[in-house]
Amino acid sequence: MLDGKTPDPKIIDGISFDEHWKILAPPASLVGSWHRGELGPLDKESFDKNFAPVYLEYLEQAEVKSAVQELGQKALHRDITVLCYESSPNATEPLLCHRALLIAKCADATV
């Protein structure tokens, strides 16, 4: 269910991933607003204009920013895979999820 509240039953702690940093996920209210169409159509323009700025602002909160910096440091020493329940697009579709935004923030945090 893509309501921004219901946990994905496929995510099982310690089995389907090594670490789950929930703090780095977009706030449930933001995800819910996105999927309900409250931020505009589900397209790149609305994502860039309405979703991304809110998520990037969230990543600047002190506790979240600390986690971003920690993940960025870990990525310097080992491979990190950032997951999302959004399906990955094919080569012609833009990525409309938090992963690219988070990865860019982690890279910035290590400079």
The tens digit of pLDDT for each residue in 2-52 reads: 555 566 666 666 665 678 889 999 999 999 999 899 999 988 899 999 999
- Mean pLDDT over residues 59-86, rounded? 90
Decide: pTM greater than 0.85: no
Report the alpha-carbon distance of residue 75 to residue 106 in Å, rounded: 8
Using only the alpha carbons of the chain, give its radius of gyration.
14
